[in-house]
Structure 1
Amino acid sequence: MTPSDELAAVRYIVDDVAAAVDFYTTHLGFSLRTNPAPAFADVVRGPLRLLLSGPASSGARATPDDSNAPGRNRIHLTVNDLDTEIDRLRTAGLSFRSDVITGPGGRQILLTDPAGNLIELFEPAPR
């Protein structure tokens, strides 16, 4: 069991490790933690460690096909001003996978990284 004071880690399979590192560090405020080879890197933002596994990494080995899997998993990043973030990222040439959705907890939009992995940008509702 991982100690509770360690970073929470999520693995994303990516086509191009360098492009993924550039995306997360340039646009979403992550810092490069390690990049031991072109096959793998990890970036950190707060308590989240994002493991970026390229085609040559052991983490990218085939997993069982499960047609019942929802395929909507994503990392969730809280932002203070969703509209400002959307404008900033569009100006940088990024595109979104969804429109803004408003619900009882706040507003959100889905962005994709260069490999198609989802990132939810979420602005909590005022309390």
Structure 2
Amino acid sequence: MVTAPSLIGPLEIALYAEDLEAAAAFWTGVMGLAEISRQPGRHVFLKIGAQVLLIFNPLATAHPPSAESRLPVPAHGATGSGHFCLAVRPEDLDPWRQHLETSGVEIEADFIWPQGGRSIYFRDPAGNSIELADPAIWPQLR
């Protein structure tokens, strides 16, 4: 068996949204992320801890770059809703729930997992399923 080289961990997380303005307003205004860069109609990038949340318009990224493009990023995209989970300290889950409800965000689910840890689920403006969770939901990572 071949051993793979080591990985540091996630650097970028991608979600897809056709309405980048609504996505940017949600992720900066409600979720408190800082915008790093934007290309109108194509993407908005946001700082999330030591990672970057990439929000792409799937209609723009589904096509390969032109031959004269200086960055040959392969075509990519997704249809339908995606899923993204953010780790939250257990004592911050109730304040997050209150903040989301005050911001007009509907909570879809709020429960304790059988193995421990709590998750709160809601949707971003593009319909992506967003989860805030106590890291204890993954006891294998402790």
TM-score bracket for the superposition, by shorter chain length: 0.7 to 0.9
CA distance in 1, matches of 2:62, 2:24: 16
Q: How many residues align?
A: 118
Q: CA deviation at 1:123?
A: 2.7
CA distance in 1 between partners of 2:17 and 2:39 (Å): 16
| SS of structure 2 residue aligned to 1:83 | helix
In terms of fraction of residues, the more helix-rich structure is: 2
Matched with 1:10 is 13
Answer yes or no: is the 8 Å Cα contact 1:33–1:42 preserved in 2.
yes
CA distance in 2, matches of 1:34, 1:64: 21
CA distance in 1, matches of 2:38, 2:96: 27
Percent of matched pairs sharing the same residue: 28
Extract structure 1 runs of 4+ deviating beyond 6 A.
Answer: 60-65
Specify whether residues 17 and 5 from structure 1 end up closer, same or farther in structure 2 by C-alpha distance, changes over 3 A only: same
Match of 1:105 in 2: 116
SS at match of 1:115: coil
Match of 1:93 among 101, 104, 109: 104
Quick one: distance in 2 between partners of 1:33 and 1:5? 22
Q: CA deviation at 1:96?
A: 2.0
Measure the CA separation in 1 of the matches of 2:12 and 2:28.
Answer: 16
Q: Please list every run of 5 or more consecutive structure 1 residues that lacks an aligned counterpart in the other structure.
A: 66-70
Q: 1:79 aligns with which of 85, 88, 94?
A: 88
Taking structure 2 as the reference length, what is the TM-score of the superposition?
0.68
Unaligned stretches of 5+ in structure 2?
1-6, 64-74, 137-142
| Structure with the larger RCO, 1 or 2 (CA within 8 Å, 6+ apart) | 1
RMSD between aligned alpha carbons? 3.1
- Partner SS state of residue 12, structure 1: strand
3-state secondary structure, aligned to 1:97: strand
C-alpha contact 2:16 2:77 (8 A) present in aligned 1: no
Taking the aligned partners of 2:15 and 2:82, their CA distance within structure 1 comes to 10
